[in-house]
Structure 1
């Protein structure tokens, strides 16, 4: 092992096991040699045997979980997704803290999000958990939720470097709220209302959170665009509600119209539309 002759090490440990099959350390050492050879299956079998000989030792199942996790990563990289899922499942069963890493490796960000939501309920709020959830929202392209979680993280820990770095990525320039505002308007015209709402809410929230106003040629138009983003958001809620109503989704239509009215209480047509739904 010390000279990296892992094949020979496996042979020697196998002979030792034949002579003294009750020695747990022999199985552990052979498993580590197998691991160096990327023979995850054999390494897992030896650690399972070690677990049966010393069930009270916590280190063995934890190492076994790590082996399953590595095996899952390799299978996933090779496109063997069913085998990867099986290995990740075994790893998570042995070590629940691996569950998030396994789900992330499989690209199951929605399941990861549910897991972090549960942690926030059971373990309490923390900057690390808010930042983690912000990363998941970012992966799911839920930029408004990502932004709010980063703000929550920085309120709890103003010097949190991970939150600050991600916030700079989603708000890289002082006039960043212009970009989602324009994009949201385009999404509304394409009748992609969910995407439009996401971008328009982000634009309004970023501007309303006290971000510095834009500089240069865009400065004079900042207030006009902010007001337009608010108006476009209300119109998007209204258009989305009409679409829901036409599909018989009356509860969703009322909810969307309520959101529109919250933003613009002096628009009589919104009340008329809500009355028509009722």
Structure 2
């Protein structure tokens, strides 16, 4: 083993096991030699035998779980997805905390996100879990939620370098795309209101958190940040008109309330809410209009 002659090491450990089959350490050493040869199946069998010889030793099942996880990673990289899933399942059964790692390796970020959110609901919030959820939101391109989790994590752990690094990446992203506000405006014109709202909310929130790193972009960024709130109100208004036209009256009222929260100085928004709400419509006698 010390000279990296792993094939010979396997042969020697096998002879030792034939002479003393109850020596747990011989199986462990042979398993480690198998690992160096990427023979995961043989390594797993030796660790299983070690577990049966010393069931009270917690380190052996944990190592076995890691071997299954490593095997799953290799199978996944080779495109053998069903075999990879089987290995990941075995790893998660032995060590539940491997569940997230396995799901992440399979690209099942939504499942990971649900698990982490459940932990945050049932247990006390921790900065590490919030950062983990922020990273999953980032992977799923849910930048607003990612930002919120990072801010919450930093309130619990102000000097966390991981949270600061990811927050910096979000701010760089802000400047790289010259603020999500521009994209949100385009989405609004395309009447993709859900996507428009997400981008405009993100743009408005980024605007509160300091200046972009490049000086020459500052003026344009400030204009877009100020415009994001206005565009957000207009998007809520347009979305409300669409909902109302489809008979979704209560949803239209909720959207107009959100629009008014953003722009209380726009009389058109109040008029539209009066046109949607039957209690006000009878009094005001107005219809909807584009703000």
| TM-score when normalising by structure 2 | 0.84
CA offsets 1:145-201 (integer angstroms, 9 cap, x no match) = 111111112222222111111111111289679521111101111222222111100
Structure 2 portions without partners, runs of 5+: 282-291
Do the aligned partners of residues 268 and 136 (structure 1) sit closer, same or farther apart at CA in structure 2, a change above 3 Å counting? same
Q: Which residue of 1 aligns with 2:19?
A: 19
Do the aligned partners of residues 187 and 27 (structure 1) sit closer, same or farther apart at CA in structure 2, a change above 3 Å counting? same
Q: Which residue of 2 aligns with 1:146?
A: 146
Contact 2:260 2:270 in 1 (8 A): no
Q: Is 2:58 the partner of 1:84?
A: no
How far apart in 2 are the matches of 1:78 and 1:217? 45
Q: Which residue of 1 aligns with 2:234?
A: 235
How far apart in 1 are the matches of 2:174 and 2:19? 72
- Give, in angstroms, the shift of residue 210 of structure 1: 4.5
Contact 1:130 1:150 in 2 (8 A): yes
CA offsets 1:44-90 (integer angstroms, 9 cap, x no match) = 11111111121111011000000001001101111111111111111
- Give, in angstroms, the shift of residue 138 of structure 1: 0.8
Do the aligned partners of residues 154 and 37 (structure 1) sit closer, same or farther apart at CA in structure 2, a change above 3 Å counting? same
How far apart in 2 are the matches of 1:229 and 1:65? 49
> What count of residue pairs does the alignment treat as equivalent?
276
The 5 Å alignment of 1:1-278 reads 1-172=1-172, 179-207=179-207, 209-212=208-211, 215-216=215-216, 218-219=218-219, 222=222, 224-244=223-243, 252-265=251-264, 266=267, 267-272=269-274, 274-275=276-277
SS of alignment partner, residue 79 of structure 1? coil
SS of alignment partner, residue 191 of structure 2? coil
- Give, in angstroms, the shift of residue 259 of structure 1: 2.6
Contact 1:65 1:90 in 2 (8 A): yes
- Give, in angstroms, the shift of residue 240 of structure 1: 3.1
After TM superposition, the structure 1 stretch with the greater mean CA deviation from structure 2, 237-246 or 147-156, is 237-246
- Give, in angstroms, the shift of residue 133 of structure 1: 1.4
How far apart in 2 are the matches of 1:136 and 1:217? 29
- Give, in angstroms, the shift of residue 248 of structure 1: 6.2
Contact 1:177 1:202 in 2 (8 A): no
CA RMSD after TM alignment: 2.8
Q: Which residue of 1 aligns with 2:289?
A: none
After TM superposition, the structure 1 stretch with the greater mean CA deviation from structure 2, 42-51 or 152-161, is 152-161
How far apart in 2 are the matches of 1:136 and 1:174? 19
CA offsets 1:22-51 (integer angstroms, 9 cap, x no match) = 222221111111111100011111111111
- Give, in angstroms, the shift of residue 122 of structure 1: 3.2
Contact 1:22 1:53 in 2 (8 A): yes
Contact 1:75 1:83 in 2 (8 A): yes
